[in-house]
Structure formats: C-alpha cells, structure tokens
Amino acid sequence: MVEDVRKYLRERWLNRDVISILDFSKEDLLFLFRITDEMNEIMSEGSEVLKGKVIATAFFEPSTRTRLSFETAAYKLGASVITFTPDLSSLAKGESLADTFRMLDGYADVIIVRSPLEGTAKMAAEVCESPVINGGDGTQHHPTQAMIDLYTIRTVKGNINGLNVGVLGDLKYGRAATSFIFGLLKFNVNSIWLISPEELRIREDVRLLLEKYKPPIHETTDLEEALPELDVLYVTRIQKERFPDPAEYERVKGSYIVKQEVLKKAKDDLIILHPLPRVDELPYEVDKTPYAAYFKQAHYGVPVRMALLALVLGRLPR
C-alpha cells in the first residue's frame, strides 16, 4: 500500500510513458486501480483537474473503444483533445514519423499512439518529451487494455490472486491477449490456461518470458477440457488482418465459438471477458447470461484511462 502518495506520484508516475504492461509493478497497478475507483465516483459530474491540458491521439489503425474512451476520459477531466489523422497529414507529403511525433510533442501534453507496427509507441516516446501512451502497437503490446482487463477482474471478482484464468483464441497475433497474459504475470493467479488452435499458440518470445516468470500454465486446443476449471475466460478475435498468409486465416477462422450450450460445463460464477471487437467467437446469445462481463469491461475503459491521464500528468482530483 502506497503511504506517501505525492512522493510516489512524482517518482513513479509523473511524465511516465506507458509502453508495455511489463514495465509496471504490481504496486503500480494496484495504485492505478485505487485511482480508477476514485474516477468512477466522479464520473457523472466530471472534474476540471486537467483543464488547460491537451491530449493528442495519433492512430494509424482502426479503433473504436481505445480512441473514444481516451477522448471521453480527457473531456471528463476538463482537458482538450486534438486528433491526428494520418491520411490528411504531411505524412502523405513524405514527412517522417519521427518528425510527425516531434510536432505533436510541441502541441500536446500527452500523446496516445496506435499502430500496426511493433515499437511505434517506443519510438514516439524516444522523440517526445510529453508522456506517450501506447494504445496498441504490433502484436504484443496494448498495456491500457490489459490494465482495464485486470481492473475488471479485480472489481467483479474482488481479487486476481488465486484465480484460474483461460485465454482463448488468437494467442499468436493478438496483442490484447498477449498483454493480458503479461499482466497476469504480475499477480499470483492459480493457473493460466492457454487455449488456441495449434497454429495460433503463443510465440517463442512470449514463451521465453513465461519460462522466466513460471506461472502454472496449461496449454490445450480443447476449450471443453479447460472450461470447468476456469474462473475467468478471456475470449479473443482471430486477428485476420495480421495473418501474412490469407490461407492460414482460412484454416483457423471459426475455430472456437463460445455458445451458451458450451457454457453448461462452466462454473456458475465464471466471468467472460473480451477486449472487443468480436466477430463470431462470442455469439450475442451469451450477452444475457450472468457470465458476460465484457460490456462492463469496455465501460471501465473510461475510468481507467482517466486515472492514467491524471497520473502521468501528476494531477489527481483529490
């Protein structure tokens, strides 16, 4: 538990770049959750704590939740938002990405980046003085999504430690799935079940990291084998756009469909998470079951991102 909040804020959060969930300690995450709880309380009336601050979003890939929840978070705290649109910018005239980020750095107090290319957020952080937040780049890092996922589990289940957590779907190309697994490594979960088609198992670099942290892992292709054990099931979309070979996608698409029928084998208090968007892996019929926690998870995107913006700018509402 953090005792001296001002000191901790100054030393651990002020001007901090948010590039990978692996850079955050368990204490950092628990503190973020505490501030997120406070943001939930001020959500309806909002606050002026970030008045005068400008938040830039620079998204080089489609997004619904990440961009809009960051923008909502900024407005809720009294900040303004500028939106960089790559197709309408001087990138189209041949300006480099580094120069583009340098420009944004001059205008904005926080820069949120999304890109299909691994390492874009890190590069932006290297050229920018203002804190850079990775809104998802490449196939590994989507730290703020993992923070939302962990916050949802801690809030709905009361705790993250001791749970049996399944991650289903595209573990090879899915950055939300990979970042979620990285986030789990910070807590003492009872077991992690990695459930995917053979072709979409975690990559070697991720496997090496799991070997370092040594959480109890089960790998399977069979959802029905894992399901009765699970307290949390994190379902993910097969990332069609990231397959180098469309034939590879054709072989695995539709591999898992978490129908209500399949859920008969689940514990009564299982919760299902999904970073969204979903395609066919999670049918609408599941939405009305008590397992469905994914809309709550999506809504927590706003308070978690409010907390993040306030923390990196060193200004808390109370």
Is residue 130 within 8 A of residue 111, CB to CB? The reply is: yes
The active-site residue out of 65, 175, 305, 315 is 65
Residue located via tokens 């489609």: 62
Helix or strand or coil: residue 234?
Answer: strand
What single-letter DSSP state applies at residue 54?
A: E
Collapsing DSSP states into helix, strand and coil, what is residue 112?
strand
142 is known as an active-site residue: yes
In terms of Cα–Cα distance, which of 131, 172, 142, 44 is closest to 310?
131
**Least CB distance to ligand NCD at residue 190 (A):** 26
Pairing of strands 271-273, 132-137: unpaired
Q: Phi and psi for 55 in degrees, rounded to 5?
A: -110, 130
By beta-carbon proximity to ligand NCD, the closer residue of 67 and 315 is 67
114 is catalytic: yes
- For binding to ligand NCD (CB under 6 A), which residues are involved? 65-66, 136, 142, 145, 175-176, 237, 275-277
Alpha-carbon distance 158 to 152, whole Å?
A: 9
Treating both helix axes as pointing N-terminal to C-terminal, what angle do 204-213 and 175-184 enclose, rounded to 10 degrees?
A: 10
Q: Look up 66 and say whether it is catalytic.
A: yes
Minimum CB distance to ligand NCD, residue 308 (Å): 14
Q: With respect to ligand NCD, which residue has the nearer C-beta, 77 or 176?
A: 176
Listed residue (96, 106, 102, 97) closest to 137, CA to CA: 97
Nearest to 133 by CA among 79, 125, 315: 125
Q: How far is the CB of 235 from ligand NCD (least distance, A)?
A: 10
Residue 29 gets the label, from left (phi > 0), alpha (psi -120 to 50) or beta, of alpha
Cβ at position 55, least distance to ligand NCD in Å? 17
Provide, rounded to whole angstroms, the least separation between the CB of residue 314 and ligand NCD.
26
The verdict on whether 12 is a catalytic residue reads no
Write the CB contacts of 239 (distance below 8 Å, at least 6 apart in sequence).
139, 170, 173, 174
Contacts of 275 (CB under 8 A, 6+ apart): 142, 145, 149, 176, 177, 180, 236, 297
Q: Rounded to whole angstroms, how far apart are CA atoms 149 and 182?
A: 12
Marked catalytic residue, from 141, 142, 237, 315: 142
Nearer to ligand NCD, 50 or 282 (CB): 282
Task: Considering the candidates 6, 93, 212, 288, report the single residue annotated as catalytic.
Answer: 93
65 among known catalytic residues: yes
Select 31 or 60, whichever has its Cβ closest to ligand NCD.
60
- Residue of minimal CB distance from ligand NCD? 275
Q: How far is the CB of 267 from ligand NCD (least distance, A)?
A: 25
- Which residues carry out catalysis? 65-66, 93, 114, 142
